[in-house]
Structure formats: structure tokens, C-alpha cells
């Protein structure tokens, strides 16, 4: 039976865990990018068009550090007003047009599934 020094074993275990963490981190980044892109496409399809049809085309993704941010670059001021509704000049209210929340919920579920796949190594 071969013997191994305990420090060598600890070093090898540590090295293997670092390799595994690097692979998982890469897989999670790929998953985040994929889910963000799918969310962007879905928002472009389901967003209200408006009179000029420009709001729906403004959705884009930017990477900030390790995070992917999905936002409306052209009409960011309208997202809350359309999603929640708002007061009008004559004292009334506009009807809410929820289009972000459903996409967000789907993206969360999809990302969780992808992270589980990455951690399990599938």
C-alpha cells in the first residue's frame, strides 16, 4: 500500500476544488448570459409598443463586473410608469401593463435551473 504525506493530500484536494470552482464559475457566467439574452428577446416581444413603437426595441443587456443587467436603454423612464400605471393630468390613472415582472420570474427560474446544472456538472 502506497503512503502519501497529509500535506500533499490537502494540497491536491485544495487544487482540485479550485479547478472545480473555476469551471462552475465559467458555467454560471455562460448561463447568466444565456438567460439574459432570452429575457431581452422576450421583453422585446411582450413590451407595449406605444404610439411610435420605440419602447419595446430599447431593451438591451450590459455587463457590469460579473453581473448582466437587462434594461431599457432608450426609454428607461417609462419602465416603472408602464409596469405599475401612473396618474394622468386630469386626475385619472392609466392601467398598469405588467410586462417586466413575468419575464423576471421566468428568468429567475431558468437561471436557478442552469446553476443547478453547472454545480452538478451536467
Q: What is the pLDDT of residue 122?
A: 66
Q: Higher confidence at residue 1 or residue 114?
A: 114
Judge whether 79 lies within some domain: yes
pLDDT at 88: 94
In whole angstroms, what is the distance from residue 89 CA to residue 106 CA? 35
Under DSSP, is residue 77 helix (H, G, I), strand (E, B) or coil?
coil
pLDDT for res 52: 80
Decide if 101 is inside a domain.
yes
* 111, 32 Cβ separation under 8 angstroms: yes
pLDDT in tens, 22-61: 999 999 999 999 999 999 999 999 999 877 878 999 999 9
Q: Tell me the HSE value of 92 on the side-chain side, using a 13 A CA sphere.
A: 4
54 in a domain, yes or no? yes
Residue 1 lies in a domain: no
117 vs 3, residue with greater confidence? 117
Does residue 90 belong to any structural domain of this protein? Answer: yes
User: How far apart, in Å, do the first and last CA atoms of the chain sit?
Assistant: 34
Instruction: Give the CA distances from residue 67 to residues 53, 62, 87, 94, 116, in Å, rounded to whole numbers and listed in that order.
Output: 29, 8, 34, 33, 18
Confidence band, pLDDT 50/70/90 cuts, at residue 2: low
Percent of the chain with pLDDT over 90: 83
Q: Evaluate if residue 1 carries a pLDDT over 70.
A: no
Query: How far is it, in rounded angstroms, from Cα 5 to Cα 24?
Result: 29
Q: Among all chains, which residue has been given the C-alpha cell 430599447?
A: 58
* Domain housing 12: 6-120
Amino acid at each position: 500500500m502506497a503512503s502519501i504525506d497529509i500535506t500533499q493530500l490537502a494540497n491536491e484536494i485544495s487544487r482540485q476544488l479550485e479547478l472545480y470552482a473555476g469551471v462552475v464559475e465559467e458555467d454560471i457566467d455562460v448561463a447568466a448570459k444565456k438567460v439574459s439574452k432570452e429575457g431581452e428577446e422576450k421583453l422585446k416581444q411582450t413590451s407595449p409598443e406605444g404610439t411610435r413603437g420605440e419602447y419595446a426595441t430599447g431593451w438591451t443587456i450590459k455587463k457590469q463586473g460579473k453581473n448582466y443587467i437587462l434594461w431599457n436603454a432608450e426609454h428607461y423612464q417609462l419602465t416603472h410608469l408602464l409596469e405599475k400605471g401612473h396618474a394622468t393630468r386630469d386626475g385619472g390613472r392609466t392601467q398598469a401593463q405588467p410586462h417586466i415582472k413575468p419575464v423576471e420570474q421566468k428568468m429567475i427560474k431558468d437561471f436557478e435551473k442552469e446553476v443547478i446544472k453547472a454545480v452538478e456538472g451536467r
